[in-house]
């Protein structure tokens, strides 16, 4: 990759050093028969994926000093399809938890869903209208630990009931953690079906009721972590709406966004905001 002025979303040397072993190993396993190594460095490809996730730009609008759409999309799709995006994400998640002096896998998770509008061009067969929130689009479901780190992601049509999202999330949680999770906290949108499914997996699902006397938004102990994670993800503009043609693409965007967040945490870097710095006047 030629010398250029870095974008705020670019990986630092320290952050790239965390990801490079996984990407290099993947590259070694996928050497073409011709022996051609490709025209673009892998660090540039990852920077392009992170740039698009952070800015929300269309594929064709990737800057000219980043790898083009054809190369970036090829690797984004390949890593999504073979799970490399999740491998990187899980590696970072375990490292962040270990840095917080916790076991690699949690004992407690928090589940919640978020309905987001779908962009024009997203297939109608993969979208719906959330009748409660009056949002036409898709529904993202997350399972997070008490640090707000993502354990599982599910993307469904917005008209899918929270029960279906909760059941799918619990199945993912069990698969991703090896059965360490003992308890899950959910809000009142999840019903007894989720509780029963959790019991079958050995997970105690607790429906946390909102205090009827409380007015406005009142954070619930531990449950607020999932709300915080949704807020962090929305800083990545590609997630403000659902622009992806396939739900699997949308889930991959969540994994890359959280990977970017955790890379900063692991290297002690601050997270840039979209606000302009204050102008100091005399």
Neighbours of 124 (CB within 10 A): 9
Instruction: Kindly list the distances between the CA atom of residue 9 and the CA atoms of 14, 202, 240, 260, 269, in Å, as whole numbers in the listed order.
Output: 14, 40, 17, 8, 12
User: Maximum CA pair distance of the chain?
Assistant: 69
> Looking at residue 174, what DSSP letter applies?
H
The alpha helices in the chain, defined as continuous H runs, are: 13-29, 42-55, 69-82, 84-99, 162-177, 192-200, 224-233, 247-267
Q: What pLDDT, on a 0 to 100 scale, did the predictor assign at position 220?
A: 65
Q: What pLDDT, on a 0 to 100 scale, did the predictor assign at position 133?
A: 87
CATH number for the segment(s) 105-211+218-245: 3.30.420.10
Residue 138 structure tokens:
């898709």
Distance separating alpha carbons of residues 163 and 195, to the nearest angstrom: 9
- pTM equals 0.90
Closest CA to 137 of 162, 110, 119: 119
pLDDT digits (tens, 9 = 90+) for 70-102: 999 999 999 999 999 999 999 999 999 999 999
Residue 57 structure tokens:
């730009």
DSSP string, 259-270: HHHHHHHHHTPP
Q: What pLDDT, on a 0 to 100 scale, did the predictor assign at position 282?
A: 35
Distance separating alpha carbons of residues 98 and 180, to the nearest angstrom: 15
Q: Which value, to the nearest 10 degrees, does the dihedral of the CA atoms of residues 211, 216, 276, 250 take? A: 60
Q: What pLDDT, on a 0 to 100 scale, did the predictor assign at position 217?
A: 54
Q: What pLDDT, on a 0 to 100 scale, did the predictor assign at position 214?
A: 59
Q: What pLDDT, on a 0 to 100 scale, did the predictor assign at position 151?
A: 97
Domain edges within the chain: 105-211+218-245
Closest CA to 74 of 105, 42, 102: 42
pLDDT under 50 in the chain at which residues?
A: 1-2, 278-282
Residue 6 structure tokens:
């870095």
Residue 268 structure tokens:
């002690």
Instruction: Kindly list the distances between the CA atom of residue 137 and the CA atoms of 63, 89, 131, 143, 256, in Å, as whole numbers in the listed order.
Output: 29, 26, 11, 20, 21
Residue 239 structure tokens:
């997630």
Distance separating alpha carbons of residues 66 and 22, to the nearest angstrom: 21
pLDDT digits (tens, 9 = 90+) for 134-156: 999 999 999 999 999 999 999 99
Q: Where are the beta strands (DSSP E) in the chain?
A: 108-117, 128-130, 135-144, 150-157, 183-186, 204-207
Instruction: Kindly list the distances between the CA atom of residue 209 and the CA atoms of 137, 177, 198, in Å, as whole numbers in the listed order.
Output: 27, 27, 18
Q: Are 113 and 139 in contact (CB under 8 A)?
A: yes
Handedness of CA 40, 42, 43, 47 (dihedral sign): positive
Q: What pLDDT, on a 0 to 100 scale, did the predictor assign at position 213?
A: 60
């Amino acid at each position: 990759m030629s010398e250029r002025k870095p974008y705020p979303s670019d990986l630092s040397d320290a952050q790239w050093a965390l990801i490079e072993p996984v990407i290099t190993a993947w590259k070694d396993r996928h050497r073409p028969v011709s022996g051609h190594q490709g025209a673009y460095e892998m660090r540039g490809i990852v920077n392009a994926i992170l740039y698009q996730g952070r800015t929300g730009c269309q594929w064709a609008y990737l800057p000219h000093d980043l790898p083009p759409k054809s190369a970036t999309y090829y690797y984004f799709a390949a890593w999504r399809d073979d799970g490399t995006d999740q491998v990187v994400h899980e590696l970072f998640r375990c490292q962040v938890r270990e840095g917080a002096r916790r076991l690699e896998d949690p004992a407690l998770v928090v589940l919640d869903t978020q309905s987001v509008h779908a962009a024009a061009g997203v297939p109608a067969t993969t979208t719906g209208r959330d009748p409660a929130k009056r949002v036409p689009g898709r529904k993202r479901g997350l399972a997070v630990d008490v640090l707000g780190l993502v354990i599982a992601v599910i993307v469904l049509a917005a008209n899918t009931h929270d029960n279906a999202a909760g059941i799918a999330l619990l199945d993912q949680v069990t698969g991703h953690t090896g059965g360490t999770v003992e308890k899950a906290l959910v809000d009142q949108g999840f019903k007894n079906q989720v509780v029963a499914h959790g019991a079958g997996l050995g997970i105690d699902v607790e429906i946390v009721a909102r205090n009827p006397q409380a007015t406005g938004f009142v954070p619930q102990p531990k449950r607020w972590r999932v709300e915080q994670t949704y807020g962090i993800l929305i800083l990545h503009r590609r997630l403000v709406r659902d622009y992806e043609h396939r739900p699997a693409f949308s889930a991959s965007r969540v994994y890359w966004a959280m990977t970017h967040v955790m890379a900063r945490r692991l290297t002690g870097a601050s997270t840039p905001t979209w606000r302009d710095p204050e102008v100091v006047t005399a």
